[in-house]
A = this chain, B = another copy of it.
Amino acid sequence: MSDARSVATKRTLVAATMQVIREQGIGAISARSIATAGSVNQALVFYHFGSVEGLVAQACLESTAERVALLEPRLAAVTTFGGLVEVAGRLHAEEREAGNVTVLAQVLAGSHANPTLAEAVGRSLALWNEQVRATLQRLLAGSPVAEVLDADALTDLVSATFVGLELMEPTRSREDVVSGALAGIGRLAAALDDLGPVSRRALRSVLRSTP
């Protein structure tokens, strides 16, 4: 019974940590702000996680794992670049509610010169990148784009864009700019998907010869 209670408390603390980071940013994190958000005692942070850093690391990891698990089946079902951009658009829309990427972005910023957080962020990013890379690898196979971009490079670019996008979200005056941009990218991707065999060969040879 005491074990079940312990688990519940840990859960509360992790959830409260995510909430504080989402609503006030990593700069507002302290054992007290977390305890207040979760309506628990401040000392429990240290009893269960050893330190505030340890709790933040755990929260970052769980927040990311949660989102990646939800996304995994959807990415597995993607068969075209257009479909991938569509999933990206939905993910961005869902972020307003869940804020998992925001948590990752904030902890990423806080991990500068902080080995403990850096380790947690590294593992969180790896969870994302695994999924994105696998999807891109699948889509790139047989695509002319593979002539100039490998999955690793594209993955890094895609992850960075998403992190930057969510970090800048609060600064945006118009909120439809991102969806507009994603729609445009989606149409470019769709055009690429729908290329006939002749244009496909032509594009491939152009990309191959471009210095």
Contacts and interface: CB of A to CB of B under 8 A. Distances in A.
B108 A167 contact: yes
A177 B149 CA distance: 11
Given A160-B164, A161-B164, A178-B156, A171 B122 contact: yes
Interface size class of A (residues with CB under 8 A): 35 or more
Contacts of A154: 181, 184
A34 to B, nearest CB: 15
B185 A156 contact: no
B156 A181 contact: yes
B106 A145 contact: no
Most chain B beta-carbon neighbours within 10 Å: one of A118, A185, A194: A185
A111 B145 contact: no
A83 B168 CA distance: 26
Contact of A149 (B25, B149, B185): B185
